[in-house]
Amino acid sequence: MKTNQQLPTSNHFQLQQLADGVYVAINILGNAGIVDLGGRTLVFDSLFMPQAAEDLRAAAETLIGRPIDAVINSHWHYDHMWGNQVFSASTDIISTDETRRLIIAKKGIDDYDSFMPIAEQKLESLLARFQAAESEADRRQLTPFIDDYRSIVEAKPILQIRAPNLTFDQRLAFYGPDRSAELIPFVKGHTESDAVLFLPQEGIAFMSDLLFIDAHPYLGDGDPDCLRHILDTVSDLAPKILVPGHGPVGGLDSLQLLKQYIDTLNGLAHIMIADDKPEEMINEMAIPEPFDDWLFAAFFKYNMHLLYQRRLAEREKMVV
């Protein structure tokens, strides 16, 4: 791998080279990929805001030396597709059929029309909490959300929701003289529909939010049991490098650690249900090791409430 190439810089992300012609843009608010097939350039996810996507597009064109041919939207969440608008009209936007439907229906946020008018208030509230925080750990947890809402407020005057114009429902393969790539769809993992971009020659898998590294995952739009199965399926591909939707680049052990996270929370929920513990106890629950210093700590309680309700429903169904 050539590592002497000067990588473009951005205030929105840090570029990292994974192989010749393969790069990742790292930002805790959402990662993206750049893949040169040889004659065609793919971008995997368009980042969280048009401003960041402008830098991503410019970086890709500088690194590869030609315009972007296609942008892949891994799923419908805004932090991975609100940058679509900055790419040329001749650049295809690709997703699964279901992801396109959800992007149009939800615009990247479930309650988009009610959420956007109060984005400034959300930012002010987070800033106030940051000022009142008593520890550096609390401020560290708040910082990504402040950056997120600040980006949303800045993007509001220019934001346009651009939906994919090409869709697929089975595996989609790309072939170039330098490498091939394959889009693999999954259902009910992180959302109703997610796609992984796999480069078989290099063993690189761009996972988007089917994988979080050093950060609590958001489990609310998928099925944790399905996600666990998906992680096993990806593991069977024997990837060497895994790019998460949030967090640093990892390896196969990252899949195992996320499975451990799901199993740990499921175990806690099972114990609570078996012991008839009230759901309110979750709000006072400490985050177990080794997850206690992960970012997005607020998702822990959210995920625990979700799993508690799922396990409770299962028990009630068994009783009936």
In 10 A of CB 128, how many CB atoms? Answer: 10
3-state secondary structure of 203: coil
CA-based nearest residue to 124, from 144, 150, 143: 150
pLDDT at 6: 87
pLDDT at 5: 65
pLDDT at 320: 54
**CB–CB of 93/68 below 8 Å?**
no
3-state secondary structure of 129: helix
Degrees to nearest 5, angle at CA 5 with 4 and 10? 125
pLDDT in tens, 165-180: 999 999 999 999 999 9
Tens place of pLDDT for every residue, the chain, 320 residues?
Answer: 445 568 999 999 999 999 999 999 999 999 999 999 998 999 999 999 999 999 999 999 999 999 999 999 999 999 999 999 999 999 999 999 999 999 999 999 999 999 999 999 999 999 999 999 999 999 999 999 999 999 999 999 999 999 999 999 999 999 999 999 999 999 999 999 999 999 999 999 999 999 999 999 999 999 999 999 999 999 999 999 999 999 999 999 999 999 999 999 999 999 999 999 999 999 999 999 999 999 999 999 999 999 999 999 988 777 65
Exposed, middle or buried, 114 (CB in 10 Å: 0-12/13-18/19+)? exposed
Backbone phi and psi for residue 32, each to the nearest 5 degrees, phi listed first: -145, 160
